[in-house]
A and B are shown apart, each in its own frame.
Chain A
């Protein structure tokens, strides 16, 4: 190709999340960073800025009619060249070097294709299917047997939409909005019908904003006992309006030879995922999708060969991961290992793992009742003044020994990655620890069935390795070394990270926005890039369409597939199709889980059936939380005075989903009640430390909780 190889155009972030909302028009932009509030924007999707040029952050999450605003996912195109090795946003009039010509950028054509394939997919049965579905794995809506019917009725496929930054600046994924495409939408649904998966628009910076659905879920079944929910993950007849799909772009430039408009395709599509609202945007999950991707990228994409690769870690064995054959050889090289001489940075690599558990106190009452075991304070077990100081820096040998012990205690408390069914520390290395529960004390991917049990969550292999280095005293404290803020300058990578940091990274049963599929390296083309099926990318499968701007290029030969083909790439809907249907049911139930820990390999035991009274009597059970940051349990609520104003210093800890039982009936309530739930937001400067309070809960004080009533007995999933 004649392309100037030094200039590269890419869409960032590689993956971003939009979120549903029942507000018809109001939206904001994704936070684009961990523990940040979303970004405020105007109706066109332009971020608003304060006088000092900082992005305004969103503080109210509902519109004037108490409807949840949608969250838009923002994508931009960035240029990397010799002058801007770290990338810069593309600008109008940039000279674009096309395949055989060049000229000034005059427009960008964005194409997005959202779809929801949940109803047409297999049933979710915990980890079954992660490495391929068994031939007898049941489908959802199994009664629809005709493949054409499954295609036409069970896939929500509004078709791709292309917009630009000049004349056609918005488009909708609604029924009837794509005359050139054979759309498929479900039959009429109850309680809420689905006739759109969202909208796209371009803002004044030639950026794309993708908005998802409105949180509508419903079933087309109209028997007298319908609509109803029967399962946390699979419900026949149901649809929801979450979705996902590729984002592609073409750079339109005026050829400097004849002033004709020609285009250059931006390589590497991005991917948008539409999930449910992030009710606690400022707290981080114990494992984020970014944590998972760092692990995948490190171990499967050779993204940090100094951390993980082939000894002796001096560059001599490094490969260029962009060369497919080299990467393949590297992946199959059995000598790969973690570099025992890798020194993690405390505040960059370690502290984010350690500081998250303590913050769970704002979304669950478990921690306060167990005396805040992860306290960061000066006397806490997690005080950075103690566990963040490398051993050589501690002069007093007694203190050094103490700090060494504290770090090792925390590290030993971490559940090994291959011990997902292990509940307690059993080693005899340290008698003090015997019997302590391993961490994270959270439910795993499968605490439910006896097929591939995975009772508890584990950190990623990479996280655990970094903790090991730290525990052994091999780490660098940026504050002590005056290196805070000094890091590898990879602004584009940090945009990519910002796209996925607020997505839940586990446990996946089936998960929140995404499921265990994100752990599979086969779905990625490279770090932070989902491999897109070329058939779903305009202008690639079809080389004649789209040569002329203004002529819709979205002519596609193939319908969306009913199966998977990772080798070819993912299609719209292929990531979210593995999640719960409707999402509200699993969301409602993912609070806490009773887990039977009598036998590591068994979740379900039936001693009674065989008259084993001893086991029946002495079987061991525990209760673990799922992911309280994505699905809050107990939150603080300010008490109100008679005028309805919050009383400072007066607060209650209340159930977040108060009024909604964790039953199938409650799940059905949640299908409509999710929009009434409150957001939990950090309030600063009220006391020396931060606190999180619930806000914008509908029907709480004024209508006296329409869901109130005596809660039915608690039940676990299934």
Chain B
């Protein structure tokens, strides 16, 4: 996910001028002879007097010598109106202490500019005029701007007022504050976090996501591999080890009845917890084998690239140390007669690699090449597993054709595809849809203990994938542990030793989760039955969310930060892949942990709809995802701190009911909106949110939340 750099952003001063010029339009009145007075040199602007009114108040001066236009205080409330888009000052200070420079827009604490003058904006003629306050309430003048094309919006007026408060700088003294203001007004985009999706979600108390492994970011994949590698480095006796968990599966797994799904859900959870002990933000990811991308044009099946092997230059060096001939190493590097380099090229099996590299040039296959140098095979295995801990040498995905006439002479039957050999294939989406349509758990997930039977998912797609991804070893050598007759995945006993096992079973679990969502309340019979060796009952698995994850094909989370008070917000483009666009089934916008405001707020969510207005959902229904109302908690009735946002989670031993204002999520189905925009020709998406007061007026108490996401599900 590359972060796009914006072009030079407008300074606040530039934006003040832009706001006023835009509202004024082409026609400009005289303004006491100054015309576009906001274009005056800044020193003149600060002093300009129009019909006796200073447009910019003098800093920190109560009695202007020109005209006293401080209106009497006629409104006072517990939750004051000023500083509309800025967080309460206390909170800012706290935040500042914690993370320096994180937020800086609290009035008094903005020490960045020494000529900060609270309330200077509010007493400036320009602001009073724009707001239509006395004497610009027709007592003496009509509101500013005169003869203008449009009124300046509440947010923009506040923006200008803040700019004056901060000293009317032409260069942003504090670009960070500017950025926050822009973010809150939907002027600049919210970017994805530098952190991983799971990291930001988990920090905000949200469920982490198990993604399609194809959609992992490079960073996410790297961290997953690092965790697996760590697990694989531990011995089988270490209960934290990869092989230990492989053994658990081999020894205890439940198939052929209703415990198939619950047991494996626990296994996945337990294994995932081992991962998270190493990296708290790494999760399992799933291999969506029903996806047509894994069936190639010639009918061969394949596995996700993430599980495949490749060599880096350093690996070739290490192999040379282990006995790889220099000529062969040069071939790999592409230095020989065959100029093609195989560094970084992915292969499903080592056999395939050898064939590709050495057959054409040397008429050597795997058997000839690797089997004849002592220790080289083991070195290859070790180096490749080290390079990609998700790869396993004991995985024999059979190819359909080889030009080597002697190939597989020992065992010609293993040639060919699933179709060639069994008249079978990877499950298609259609197959899966039929399975998902099953309306009882017994048929879908297996019979109970009194009437045991395989469930549909268990018996075919699950088993088939096991068998195919395990496969039969074309180089089988009796008695050689490096060349068993079948792959790990093929057998129950060994399946858990191949890392692809977790991709496969995460997908199985995902299908159960999907089926559960489609058929709520249908569960395995014996909820109280213990799932050994896990400390869990069957019924503990009914709700997968309890285990802290959800399945999302392509999650797109944009952190907002609850200190930001927005009236509009806009995210960066998703950079969504064409595959997601083709294969998503559902899309949803979620506003994460919306802080309970005092004032009720009407929120409307759009896609690709910049600067939405009150009527945009009517004018542009195709961009409209949906809307909702945030039910404000009402005016402040307590003492200091009463209106502070409620904590996200209670303490472990806090047995009280959670705070009634605990921030919560708002989910909106965006499927239809995405469909409409795609058919209209949009090829990427960004989220726009508009928040308005329930009285249709601009807001004083604005929308605050931890983040917003647009998630695609398969």
Chain A residues with a Cβ under 8 A of chain B: 306, 312, 314-316, 341-343, 390-395, 474, 476-477, 480-483, 486-489
Question: Provided the pairs A342-B140, A343-B52 are in contact, do residues A482 and B68 lie with their beta carbons within 8 angstroms?
Answer: no
Within 8 A of A (CB), among B1-51: 27, 29-34, 51
Q: Residue on B with the closest CB to A340?
A: B52
Can you list the 4 inter-chain pairs with the closest CB atoms, starting with the nearest? A482-B147, A392-B33, A480-B30, A393-B33
Interface pairs (30), CB distance under 8 Å: A312-B68, A314-B68, A314-B69, A314-B70, A314-B71, A314-B72, A314-B134, A315-B71, A315-B72, A316-B72, A343-B140, A343-B141, A390-B33, A391-B33, A392-B34, A394-B33, A395-B33, A474-B52, A476-B51, A476-B141, A480-B30, A481-B146, A481-B147, A482-B27, A482-B29, A482-B147, A483-B29, A483-B142, A483-B146, A487-B138
Contacts of B528 in A (CB 8 A): none
In the complex, A315→B73 CA distance in Å? 10
- Residue from B31, B134, B147 in contact with A315 in the complex, judged by beta carbons closer than 8 Å: B134
Q: What CA separation (Å) do A306 and B141 show in the bound complex? A: 11
Bound Cα distance A306, B72 (Å):
14
Of chain A, the residue at the smallest CB distance from B134 is A315
B548 close to chain A: CB less than 8 A: no
Tell me the smallest distance from the CB of B134 to a CB of chain A, in Å. Answer: 6
Task: Write out the residue numbers on chain A whose beta carbons fall within 8 Å of the beta carbon of B141.
Answer: 343, 476
* Complex Cα gap A40–B119 (Å): 57
Q: In the bound complex, what is the Cα–Cα distance between A477 and B146 (angstroms)?
A: 12
User: Which residues of chain B have C-beta atoms less than 8 A from A480's C-beta?
Assistant: 29-30
Contact B139 A306 (CB under 8 A): yes
A390 touches B32 (CB 8 A): yes
Query: For chain B residues 130-174, which have a beta carbon within 8 Å of chain A?
Result: 134-135, 138-142, 146-147
Q: Does B32 contact A392, Cβ atoms closer than 8 Å?
A: yes
Q: How far is the CB of A643 from chain B (nearest CB, A)?
A: 53
CB of B135 within 8 A of CB of A477, answer no
CA A358 to CA B410, docked complex, whole Å: 122
Given A392-B33, A395-B33, A482-B27, 7 new contacts (CB under 8 A)? A306-B140, A312-B68, A342-B140, A393-B32, A474-B52, A482-B147, A483-B147
Residues of the A chain whose Cβ atoms lie less than 8 Å from the Cβ of B146: 481-483, 486
Q: Which residue of B lies closest to A486 (CB)?
A: B142
Q: Known contacts A312-B68, A481-B147; decide if A393 and B30 are in contact (CB<8 Å).
A: yes
- What residues of chain B lie closer than 8 Å to A306, measured between beta carbons? 135, 139-140
Contacts of B139 in A (CB 8 A): 306
Give complex CA distance A312, B31 in Å. 24
Docked Cα-Cα span, A487 to B69, in Å, equals: 21
- Nearest residue in B to A391 (C-beta to C-beta)? B33
- Complexed CA–CA distance, A82 and B32 (Å): 36
B67 within 8 A of partner (CB): yes
Q: How far is the CA of A395 from the CA of B35 in the complex (A)?
A: 12
Number of A-B contacts (CB under 8 A): 59
- Complex Cα spacing A487 to B139, Å: 10
Contacts of B138 in A (CB 8 A): 487-489
Shortest CB–CB separation between residue B485 and chain A, in angstroms? Answer: 88
Closest to B49 in A: A392
- A482 to B72 CA separation, bound complex (whole angstroms): 30
Within the complex, the shortest CB–CB distance from B669 to chain A, in Å, comes to 39
Which chain B positions have C-beta within 8 A of A394?
33
Closest residue of chain B to A311 (Cβ to Cβ) is B68
Shortest CB-to-CB span from B69 to chain A, Å, is: 6
Contact of A474 among B31, B33, B51, B142 (CB under 8 A): B51
Closest chain A CB from B430 CB (angstroms): 61
Structural contact, A477 and B30, CB atoms closer than 8 A? yes
Contact call B142/A341, Cβ cutoff below 8 A: no
Please give, as numbers and ranges, the residues of chain A lying within 8 Å of B34 by CB-CB distance.
392
Closest to A476 in B: B51
User: How far, in whole Å, are A419 and B625 apart by their CA atoms in the complex?
Assistant: 75
Complex Cα–Cα for A489 and B137 (A) = 11
B33 proximity list for chain A (CB < 8 A): 390-395
| Closest-CB distance, A539 to chain B (whole angstroms) | 37
Task: Tell me the minimal C-beta distance from B39 to chain A in angstroms.
Answer: 16
Chain B residues in 8 Å Cβ range of A474: 51-52
List chain A residues, Cβ under 8 A from B29.
480-483
B67 touches A481 (CB 8 A): no
Closest residue of chain A to B50, judged by CB? A392
Alpha-carbon gap, A52 to B140, bound state (A) = 35
CA distance A335 to B32 in the complex (A): 30
Report the Cα distance A481→B70, complex, angstroms. 24
Residues of B within 8 A of A393 (CB): 30, 32-33
Min CB gap A152→B, angstroms: 53
Contact A481 B140 (CB under 8 A): no
**Smallest Cβ distance from A221 to chain B, in angstroms?**
58
Report chain A residues within 8 Å CB of B70.
314
Docked CA distance A373–B134 (Å): 40
By a CB distance below 8 angstroms, the chain B residues around A482 are 27, 29, 146-147
Q: Please measure, in the bound complex, the distance between the C-alpha atom of A375 and the C-alpha atom of B642, giving whole angstroms.
A: 71
Q: Could you tell me the distance between the alpha carbons of A341 and B134 in the complex, rounded to whole angstroms?
A: 14
Compute how far the CA of A392 lies from the CA of B31 in the bound complex, rounded to whole angstroms: 9
- Within the complex, the shortest CB–CB distance from B170 to chain A, in Å, comes to 24
Nearest CB of A to B136, in Å: 12
Q: What is the CB-to-nearest-CB distance from A404 to chain B, in angstroms, rounded to a whole number?
A: 14
- By beta carbon, the residue of chain A nearest B135 is A306
In the bound complex, residues from chain A placing their C-beta under 8 Å from that of B51 are 343, 474, 476
B143 to chain A, nearest CB (A): 10
Tell me the bound Cα distance from A314 to B134 in angstroms. Answer: 8
Which residues of B from 44 to 86 have beta carbons under 8 Å from A?
Answer: 51-52, 67-72
A487 to B142, CA, bound (A): 7
A490 to chain B, nearest CB (A): 9
A305 and chain B: residue at smallest CB distance: B139
Which residues of B sit under 8 angstroms from A391, Cβ to Cβ? 33
B139 nearest in chain A by CB position: A306
Q: How far, in Å, is A161 (CB) from chain B's closest CB?
A: 41
Q: Which residues of A contact B71 (CB under 8 A)?
A: 314-315
Q: With A and B bound together, what is the CA distance between A482 and B34 in angstroms?
A: 14
A348 to chain B minimum Cβ distance, whole angstroms, is 12
CA distance A487 to B141 in the complex (A): 9
Q: Which residues of B contact A314 (CB under 8 A)?
A: 68-72, 134
A395 to B52, CA, bound (A): 19
A630, chain B: closest CB distance, angstroms: 33
Asked if A341 and B147 make an inter-chain contact with CB atoms under 8 angstroms apart, the answer reads no
What's the minimum C-beta distance from A345 to chain B, rounded to whole angstroms?
Answer: 9
Contact among A341, A477, A481 for B52, CB-based, below 8 A: A341
Chain B residues closer than 8 Å to A476, beta-carbon distance: 32, 51, 141
For the complex formed, measure the closest distance between the CB of A312 and the CB atoms of chain B, giving whole angstroms.
5
Q: Whole-angstrom distance from the CB of A685 to the nearest CB of chain B?
A: 30
B72 x A341 contact (CB < 8 A): no
Residues of A within 8 A of B135 (CB): 306
Complex-state Cα separation, A480 to B35, whole angstroms: 10
